[in-house]
Amino acid sequence: MNCAEARSRIAGYVDGELDTLGCTRLDAHVSGCRACQRERTQQVFVSQELRRELTRFRAPAGLHRRVRESLRTRDDGRVDTWLQRLRWGSLVPAAGVALATLVSANVFFLASLPSAEDRVAANVLDSHLRALMSARAIDVVSSDEHTVKPWYAGRLDFSPPVTDYAAEGFALVGGRIDYVEGRSVAALVYQHRKHLVDAFVWPSAGSSSKVPASLERRGYNLVHWTRDGMTYWLASDLEAGELMRLEALLASSSAM
């Protein structure tokens, strides 16, 4: 089993939908593949969170009663439902109302979908928090950029820019491979006083923008921009102004 096949089966594994042979093959692959181990851990985390936070509703007794009352037994023993009692003439306007309601609901649903920026922001923040909680925020521990940068060779399909800014108050402490929007990304870890900052980097699919954007999500600050073919996201509990200082350092380095 290769990584592509394993990742296509992890969701079924987590949800208990794989047969015994499938689980055995997946376990054998994941036991020797760190990337797939991370993918399985992420999906287990999401599944557990959904089960814990999912809101469930029990139908009230009155609804049960109305459903039962809507069914009538005819003299010949067959069930005469409200649908059988309706005439086609009354169904036509009802169908029009239902169609209009469905269209309105779809429009509302589409309008309420998160934007691409919000979706990526949620992914970045989840990756940052997951790393902090897992006690594995760093895969390669080093303040030497000449150690961290080569570590990514062969592990990613791109070479992230790596620079230490200890003199400016942002010391490089290492890096790891993480996942955002379904792809592997570089996560450079900086320390500013007692705060850790994750700098996520991956190739940009769109046009470059030198203007950074700052967001706040769940008490954490995020800054993102694209430059020289790379997308950058910073995530930390640092105040936005401090993150913007690191953004300026990273932007000046990438421009060299």
> pLDDT tens digits, residue range 144-175?
999 999 999 989 999 999 999 999 999 999 99
Per-residue pLDDT of 209-225, as tens digits, reads: 667 888 898 889 999 99
Residues 181 and 210 in one domain: yes
Mean of per-residue pLDDT scores for the chain? 79
Can you say how many angstroms the Cα of residue 109 is from the centroid of all Cα atoms in its chain?
20
User: In this structure, is residue 59 part of a structural domain?
Assistant: no
Alpha-carbon gap, residue 182 to 196, rounded angstroms: 24
pLDDT of 80 > 80? The answer is: no
Residues 121 and 107 in one domain: no
Residues 156 and 234 in one domain: yes
Tell me the pLDDT band of 8, cut-offs 50, 70 and 90: confident
Higher pLDDT, 191 or 76: 191
**8 Å CB contact between 235 and 254:** no
Global pTM value: 0.56
Alpha-carbon gap, residue 62 to 98, rounded angstroms: 24
Per-residue pLDDT of 120-146, as tens digits, reads: 888 899 889 888 887 667 889 999 999
Q: Which domain holds residue 228?
A: 116-254
| Residue with token string 């399985």 | 40
Alpha-carbon gap, residue 142 to 159, rounded angstroms: 17
User: In this structure, is residue 107 part of a structural domain?
Assistant: yes
pLDDT of 68 > 50? The answer is: yes
